[in-house]
């Protein structure tokens, strides 16, 4: 038979003790969640910074390779290569037509040509063409465009052993669900001119060519500044056309200062800056810009030396 005082000897928690335990557990869980949120946000910010840095490095590597090749001429010299199709020895030097000087930018074979700011875009922010003047986006100063030309040689191509390529880096607007921004694009053209031809044309239908390939998104600005042998900025800007000084400056380029600025894909900061103290993106030239949103923007700056333009380096 159960004793009357049996339940008096069973240990347990009172209601007050249970409530205290619940409160303490809640506080601890809240603290752990807050800590997790802070750590996760910090990790996301570090990841965003790393992505921006990686985007800059990837394009810089491409630019370095192409700018260093600008103006390269392949000289085969004395050789024993014979064309099976034409039955003649390959020329010792490039036979390809060269168009420079007072020609247009689109046709030019000059090693490096830079178009600056909005004049290089040719597109409005919504992606529509702005016409030949290319000045409709003057208030939005992004981005420079650079054309790079160099030669190569392919001994297995009997019809056109000497090659010439034009590499163009530029920006175009992107409107993705209301997120209006820019992206970096690249076009590779080849000069088509057979051994028996005296004239040629730029084409994009060669195996290694492509047009308008997006290479990086979330671009803020892309700036190219040509420097002479003394490291001074070259003015007027080297380019073909009627301006004699600008045309002569095409072969004074010894290096290119490059600035690439990208922004984070998502909003980075918690608060927008005040109108009186915006966040700035510094330019190498006179294109410093202010922003009042929550995005992170960071720049990669590098000087790339040319190897095949002029002399006295």
The predicted pLDDT at position 139 comes to 47
Q: Worst-scoring range by mean pLDDT, 21-30, 72-81, 115-124, 250-259? A: 115-124
In the chain, where the domains are located: 16-305
- For 133-145, what is the mean pLDDT? 57
Residues 271-288 pLDDT 10s: 888 888 899 988 988 888
pLDDT reading at 96 higher than 80: yes
Question: Which pLDDT band, with edges at 50, 70 and 90, does 130 fall under?
Answer: very low
Residues 154-209 pLDDT 10s: 988 888 999 999 999 999 988 887 788 899 999 999 999 998 899 999 999 999 99
Output the DSSP codes for the chain: ---TTTGGG-----HHHHHHHHHHHHHHHHHHHHHHHHHHHHHHHHHHHHHHHHHHHHHHHHHHHHHHHTT---B--S---B-TTT-SBPPSB-------TTS-TTT---SEEEE-GGGGT-B-TTS-B--TT--TTTTS----EEEEEEEEE-TT-SS--EEEEEEEEEEEEEEETTEEEEEEEEEEEEEE--TT-S--EEES-STT-EEEEEEEEEEEEEEEEEE-TTSPBPSSPP-SSS-HHHHHGGG---EEEEEEEEE-SS--SSSPPPTTS-EEE--SSS--EEE-SS--EEEEEEEEE-SSSSS--
Q: Is the pTM of this model over 0.85?
A: no
% of the chain at pLDDT higher than 70:
79
* Higher per-residue confidence, 2 vs 35: 35
Q: Worst-scoring range by mean pLDDT, 110-114, 143-147, 162-166, 180-184? A: 180-184
% of the chain at pLDDT higher than 90:
38
Q: Worst-scoring range by mean pLDDT, 36-40, 149-153, 202-206? A: 36-40
């Amino acid at each position: 038979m159960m004793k009357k005082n049996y339940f008096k000897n069973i240990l347990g928690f009172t209601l007050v003790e249970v409530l205290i335990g619940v409160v303490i557990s809640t506080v601890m869980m809240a603290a752990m969640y807050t800590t997790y949120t802070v750590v996760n946000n910090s990790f996301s910010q570090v990841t965003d910074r790393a992505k921006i840095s990686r985007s800059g490095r990837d394009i810089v590597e491409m630019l370095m390779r192409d700018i260093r090749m600008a103006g390269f001429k392949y000289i085969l010299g004395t050789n024993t290569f014979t064309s099976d199709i034409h039955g003649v020895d390959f020329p010792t030097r490039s036979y390809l037509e060269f168009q420079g000087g007072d020609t247009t930018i689109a046709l030019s074979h000059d090693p490096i040509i830079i178009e600056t700011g909005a004049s290089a875009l040719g597109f409005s922010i919504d992606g529509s063409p702005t016409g030949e003047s290319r000045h409709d986006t003057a208030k939005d100063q992004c981005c420079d465009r650079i054309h790079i030309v160099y030669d190569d040689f392919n001994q297995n191509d009997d019809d056109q052993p000497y090659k010439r390529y034009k590499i163009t880096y530029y920006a175009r607007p992107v409107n993705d669900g209301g997120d209006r921004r820019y992206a970096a694009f690249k076009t590779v053209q080849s000069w088509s001119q057979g051994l028996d031809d005296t004239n040629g044309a730029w084409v994009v239908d060669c195996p290694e060519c492509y047009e308008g390939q997006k290479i990086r998104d979330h671009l803020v600005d892309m700036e190219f500044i040509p420097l002479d042998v003394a490291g001074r900025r070259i003015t007027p800007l080297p380019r073909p056309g009627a301006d004699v000084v600008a045309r002569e400056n095409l072969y004074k380029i010894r290096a290119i200062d490059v600035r690439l600025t990208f922004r984070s894909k998502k909003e980075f900061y918690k608060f927008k800056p005040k109108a009186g103290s915006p966040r700035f993106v510094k330019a190498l030239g006179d294109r410093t810009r202010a922003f009042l949103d929550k995005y992170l923007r960071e720049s990669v700056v590098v000087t790339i030396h040319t190897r095949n333009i002029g002399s006295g380096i």
